Amino acid sequence: MLGFLKGDPRKKLQKEYEKKLTEALHYQRNGDLRTYSTLMEEAEAMYAKLQEMDKK
């Protein structure tokens, strides 16, 4: 009945994905490549989940 009040899980994940990419870019520019690579791995996992959601 009040389903419109629930957030869209895809939108939430998309927002987190974009935030993770921005954070990774910041670390890359500052020369912390270890943290950058860790954040990019997490972002790639989020991207894979987004792709799965699109298929459904």
Residues sharing a CB contact under 8 Å with residue 28, sequence separation 6 or more, in sequence order = 36
pTM over 0.85: no
Query: Who contacts 21 (Cβ-Cβ below 8 Å, separation ≥6)?
Result: 43
Say how far apart CA 8 and CA 6 lie, in whole Å.
Answer: 7
Per-residue pLDDT tens over the stretch 7-49: 888 999 999 999 999 999 999 999 999 999 999 999 999 999 9
